[in-house]
Structure 1
Amino acid sequence: MFEVLVFVYENYWRGDACPELHQLERKLSAHGFEPEEIQEALLWLDGLSLAAQNAQLAPDEACPASTGFAPVLPSPTSLRVYSVAEQDHLGAECLGFLSFLDAAGVLPPPLREIVVDRAMAAPGDPVSLDELKIIVLMVYWSCGTELDALVLDELCDDTRSRLPH
């Protein structure tokens, strides 16, 4: 499924530039993706579209980089508590990365909730960090946001090739 999502991300510069799901299915099939992968990815993308539409986002929260407004930072006294199911499915590494994005002010709470929703809908137990990064990219992609270069670099960096200091 994630290979299909990466293909969609790389070939359609924004979510609204992506063809409708039945046309996308034909294009993905023509590019050689397996029918099961395509169906899983299309179902996931449909859920992403629904989650993005249902989110009650203020203009400065929806896509902070595209609007020119500063990202909305959560209140210093607020705390996101993850359920046991979320903790199990996301794992410590993904939860730490979400906390990092939150603390850096690049993932406003409404978008974080969409990321968590889509991560919970993703296969894998737990979801890998690389898969979570794809999910974050797809959430921003769905709202047509261009990410800051440093954030994009962090999301696209292959951490397996890093050497610890």
Structure 2
Amino acid sequence: MNENVLDLLLYLFENFSLPDIGASGEVRDDLGEAGFFPEEIDDAFDWLDATRGDGRARFAAPGSDAVRVYVGPELMVLDAECRGYITRLEQAGVLNAENRELVIDRLMALAEDESATAELEQVKWVVMMVLSQAPDQDMAYARMEAMMHADTPGAAH
């Protein structure tokens, strides 16, 4: 996985409202001051742009009886644990089919090559970022956030 771009995305996620963020000079300056390089900043903004309206239009919403089959590079990047977690989120109603496809697409975009395997924590954060920008997904975002806190050892109940 492209750790530098993922680190930058997590920094943006923790410090800014992703739906409201633009490629403004102020945000870019802040990222530069935080130690990120211009190429990484460009890659992160490209990644974010693909999760917004234009990125969503690339996926035709699968039917309710459709079955997701992972192929080729997806099997290499997303191990059984990651694929199982994505399926669990879909079955729990956290991800709909369209957002599932976008999560998979964005994880594949972070993979530097087919030998880069995603880690479960990376999958969780990508899901959070996708849901934070998805229209009408506030409840799914809240459920995912609660699941992440519940999965954290030592989390208060």
Whether TM exceeds 0.5 here: the answer is yes
Question: After TM superposition, which residue ranges in structure 1, 4 or more long, deviate above 6 angstroms?
Answer: none
Match of 1:146 in 2: 138
Asked if 1:133 is matched to 2:124, the reply is yes
Instruction: List gaps (5 residues or longer) in structure 1.
Output: 58-72
Contact 1:4 1:33 in 2 (8 A): yes
Q: Which moved more, 1:22-31 or 1:135-144?
A: 22-31
Contact 1:28 1:38 in 2 (8 A): yes
For residues 124 and 84 of structure 2, what CA distance do their matches in structure 1 show? 12
Give the 3 Å change call, closer, same or farther, for CA 92–22 of structure 1 in structure 2: farther
Asked if 1:9 is matched to 2:13, the reply is yes
Q: Which moved more, 1:31-40 or 1:97-106?
A: 31-40
Instruction: Report the CA distance between 1:3 and its aligned residue.
Output: 1.8
State the number of aligned residues.
Answer: 144
SS of alignment partner, residue 6 of structure 1: helix
Which runs of structure 2 are paired with 1:7-156 in the superposition (5 Å)?
Answer: 7-15=11-19, 17-20=20-23, 23-49=26-52, 50-55=54-59, 74-75=64-65, 78-123=66-111, 125-143=116-134, 145-148=137-140, 149-155=142-148
Instruction: Report the CA distance between 1:116 and its aligned residue.
Output: 0.9
Contact 1:25 1:42 in 2 (8 A): no
Q: Which moved more, 1:126-135 or 1:140-149?
A: 140-149
TM-score w.r.t. the length of structure 2 is: 0.75
Contact 1:115 1:136 in 2 (8 A): yes
* AA in 1 matched with 2:92: A
Contact 1:21 1:42 in 2 (8 A): no
SS of alignment partner, residue 9 of structure 1: helix
For residues 134 and 123 of structure 1, what CA distance do their matches in structure 2 show? 15
Instruction: List gaps (5 residues or longer) in structure 2.
Output: none
CA RMSD of aligned residues (A): 2.7
Identity of aligned residues (%): 30
* AA in 1 matched with 2:144: V
TM-score w.r.t. the length of structure 1 is: 0.72
Give the 3 Å change call, closer, same or farther, for CA 11–100 of structure 1 in structure 2: same
Contact 2:89 2:95 in 1 (8 A): yes
Instruction: Report the CA distance between 1:13 and its aligned residue.
Output: 2.9
Contact 2:18 2:133 in 1 (8 A): yes
CA offsets 1:51-83 (integer angstroms, 9 cap, x no match):
1354456xxxxxxxxxxxxxxx933xx311111
